Every structure is written in structure tokens, then in C-alpha cells.
Chains A and B, each alone.
Chain A
Amino acid sequence: MLMITRRPGERIMIGDDVSIEIVEVTGSTVRIGITAPRATPVYREELWERVKQENEDAARVDPDRLEGLAPKEKE
């Protein structure tokens, strides 16, 4: 892993399009500003991890099990 020391107000570039600014450091909390292209989503890691896990679990399902139990949908 690349380790970089930065001070508040300084930035890191990831490629040409993503910039990360250290906005403020207060005790153990760091505020970060991120500028990324529209097509690049930005997530808090723990949130990303939870959604990824749900997506992976959902994808493991056997369709026969699902459809056998499916309730009727009212239109």
C-alpha cells in the first residue's frame, strides 16, 4: 500500500480525474473532500462492503427455490 503524508488543504490525485483533499483534521477524525467524474461512484467502505455482501448472497440463489415460493403478484 502506498503511504502518503498530507496536511489539511493538500490533495492527492488518483489518475487525472479523481482528487482527494484533506479538509480538516480534528483529533482522530479526518474530513476528506472527494472530486470524481460523474461515472465514478464514491462510497464509504463499510457501506460498500455490506451492499457487496448482499449482492453476492442474492446471486447465489437457486431459481427453483425462489419461484416455488413466489406469492402471486396483484396487478
Chain B
Amino acid sequence: MPQTLESSRFGTLEIADRAVIEFPAGLIGVGGRRFALLTRQEDSAFRWLHELDGSDLALPVTDPFAFFPDYELQVADADAARIGLDDPAAAEVYAIVRAADSLEDFSVNLLAPILIHDGMGHQVINEAPRAPVRVPLLAGLAERAA
């Protein structure tokens, strides 16, 4: 049965059961247990990871590989086991975006991406080198263009 989400940012939305993503450990430091990925504009590079149980917590996310073609993700075996993921490559990967007044000043968190697989979500610590917690969103594309 779909549930109704009352969001201060998005208004009232119907969330289908299959769109619900369980985060057993919540997001690091900010909690939340059940989220949905919302698309506000079809052609946007950004989606919203929105909490469903009334906290109104919502974070913009993006596909890190679209902005950082060389992005590497290494998940510790213990983390992979904890989230029941034999192969992290099987998961959808999202990076949390920190927006600013202009796109040039946006940053993205490559250190602690979100993995989503089979209706379950986890924020993990990326053990790959060169995965900063705050890197300019466009840095990867600029590097490639140079």
C-alpha cells in the first residue's frame, strides 16, 4: 500500500512500497531508517534521498561516476558483509551533494557514498585513496577536459 509523504520541500507525495529503501544503520550522524529517492525534475542530475518517517530529512545526491569518470570505490570486507553485499559493484552508488550559490561551488562527498541494493541502503566509508569528503563537483570533469 502506498504511503503518503508530507514534505516541507516537495509537498504531499505518494510513495509506492517498492520505492522504499531501508537504511538499517541510518545515515552517518543524522539517522533516518526509511528513505525514498525522489526525482524532482526528470532531466536533473540530482535526486533527493528523502526520509519517510516524518523527520523531513532530505539530502541531494548524484551519480558520482557521471562527474568523476575515474571514481574508485573500495568497501571493507566487514562493511560489505554488514550490508549483505558480496559484490559492491552490484549496488547503485550515489554521492551526497553539498549545494552552493553557483554550480562551480557545489561539492560532493566521495568519502562516504550511499550504496543501494535490493531495497536496502547504506552509507559506507570508501577506503580508496583520493576520495575526499568534500571535493568540487566539477573537479573530475575539469581534470578530464584538461
Contact = CB atoms under 8 A, between A and B. Distances in A.
Interface of A: 38-41, 43, 47-59, 61-63, 65-67, 69-73
Contacts of A61: 60, 97-99
Interface of B: 9-10, 24-25, 27-30, 40-41, 43-46, 48, 57-60, 63, 66, 79, 81-82, 96-99, 101-103, 106, 109, 111-112, 123, 125, 133-134
A72 B98 contact: no
B9 A63 contact: yes
B54 to A, nearest CB: 15
A38 B82 contact: yes
Nearest to B104: A69
B131 to A, nearest CB: 12
B109 A58 contact: yes
Contact of B81 (A38, A50, A53, A71): A38
A73 B44 contact: yes
A63 B106 CA distance: 13
B123 A51 contact: yes
